[in-house]
Structure 1
Amino acid sequence: MYFLIIIKTIILYILVIIIYRLNGKKEINQLNVIDLIIFFLIIQLITISIWTNQSIFISFISIIILIMFQLLFEYITYKNNKIKQFIDGKPIIIIKDGQLNFKEMVKSNYHLEDIIKELNEQGIKRIEDIKLATIDKGKLLIQEMNNEYPMPIILNGYIDYFSLKKIKKDINWINNILDENNLRLDEIFYAFYTKQKTFIIKKD
């Protein structure tokens, strides 16, 4: 019995590693809500398979079905930015032009000590030196006053209205760029704005 448990454990462990490597997920902070649900369901299936007489083949098929569902859902969110924002959530602004947004800090359960620690790790001494700080997928992203980072404005044919608002532009500005380049929105894979210039990468 114990020998069978060991064999099942090794086989299922190798299987899960292979599946997640093929899936491209390398770090826990890259996982969204759906990924975590699938992850815990797989753990449950593995546990049942190891400690019961259930065939390892049944567990294998069940895990494959879950992974296929996950890949399908990722494809849907890749194609639909609204669904992606619903699953991943919108970035939360907690610092703007050197001013803390305490309301958003409370809503996101992010404490001042966390911000100060993150600033120290990035070598930033004062909150007043921050132009913009957002929380995206649990990570604090910081833009300093004197640094300008590329802002994504179009992702796979969908407008990033969050970034558009940041750079103080609107849909008419996007339409003008499309007209100037003789492009449709669905022909653009990635477009970003930096240093008063717009850069476009077209789909193949």
Structure 2
Amino acid sequence: MLIGIVRTIILYLIIVLVLRVMGKRQIGQLQPFELVIILMISELAVIPSQDSGIPLVAGLFPVLILLLLGLAISEIALKSEKARGIICGTPTILINKGQILEGELRKLRYNLSDLLEQLRAKNLPNIADVEYAILETNGQLSVIPKTGKRPVNTQDLKLQVIAEGLPLALIMDGKLQQKNLEKSGVNIQWLNKELTKANVPDIKKVFFASIDSQRKLYIQQKADPNK
């Protein structure tokens, strides 16, 4: 029993490592060959965890082969546009200048109900409002609205805006994030002074605090456990 638990934990950690090596992607962003490899790895990992008679190394050998195969295919697709088109496919236009391309829908076995569902998910329930709809190689639908239906932006209004940098977390659950403090260009004295202004007596009382590119500090104190 104990051996089975240990083998399962080892297999779990190795599979997580394999998936990390393959790259950070959500399931919906996987290419077909990546999804197949992940499914096969998952199936192969179950076999040695269920059968203690199979040596762990022998059970992991096919997993290693699949990992190397996935990395090799990814490298080929990265360096060759032609190979990328064969391996991953190419994006397909389903709506062109407001017109649904019936032939492309039939070719991809993509029915109108699926198309309308995806458009509703993009807050574009009316096909008349769509300039282009493109089915990407990972199965996601990219939608470009017609000019009059696009959200207004600052360029349309001719407004001058200040570029925003990435906010940095300075305090998380009462703990100072020293690296982020150094990146932010402020020091601990400045931070303590700002906390005092906000009537926060101690860093340990802060649940979360972040600073933006304009040196504006956001502070949220920890909840009172007595309430």
Specify if TM > 0.5: yes
Quote the Cα distance in structure 1 between the aligned partners of 2:44 and 2:25: 21
* Cα distance between partner residues in 1 of 2:120 and 2:61: 48
How far apart are 1:79 and its partner, in Å?
A: 0.5
CA contact (8 A) 1:97 1:128 kept: no
2:93, 2:134 within 8 Å by CA — same for their partners in 1? Answer: yes
The aligned amino acid for 2:141 is L
Cα deviation, 1:19-52, whole Å, max 9, x if unaligned, reads 2123213311222232233223322321221232
2:144 matched residue in structure 1: 143
Q: Measure the CA separation in 2 of the matches of 1:125 and 1:45.
A: 43
CA distance in 2, matches of 1:134, 1:83: 21
- 2:108 corresponds in structure 1 to 108
Structure-to-structure mapping, 1:22-171, within 5 angstroms? 22-52=21-51, 53-136=53-136, 137-146=138-147
After superposition, give the CA deviation of every residue in 1:31-78 in whole Å (9 maximum; x if it has no partner).
223223322332232122123211112233432232122112211110
CA pair 33-125 structure 1, distance change in 2 beyond 3 A: closer
Aligned pairs, number = 146
CA distance in 2, matches of 1:119, 1:65: 40
Q: CA deviation at 1:125?
A: 3.8
Return the offset for 1:80: 0.6
Q: Percent identity?
A: 28
Regions of 4+ moved over 6 Å: none
Unpaired segments ≥5 residues, structure 1: 148-204
Residue of structure 2 equivalent to 1:169 = none
Shift of 1:11: 1.3
Q: Is the 8 A contact 2:22 2:70 kept in 1?
A: no
Structure 2 counterpart of 1:183 = none
* Distance in structure 2 (CA, Å) of the matches to 1:69 and 1:125: 41
Q: Give the distance between the partners of 2:67 and 2:100, measured in 1 at CA.
A: 41
1:117-151 Cα deviation digits (max 9, x unpaired): 2222222242122111111121111111215xxxx
Q: Deviations over 1:89-115 (max 9, x none)?
A: 111111111111112112222222222
Change (3 A) 1:37 1:113: closer
Deviation of 1:9 (Å): 1.6
Q: Secondary structure at the match of 1:74?
A: helix
Amino acid across the alignment from 1:143: I
Q: So what's the TM-score if we normalise by structure 2? A: 0.58
CA distance in structure 1 between the partners assigned to 2:109 and 2:82 by the alignment: 24
Taking the aligned partners of 1:59 and 1:50, their CA distance within structure 2 comes to 9
Distance in 1 separating the partners of 2:39 and 2:124: 38
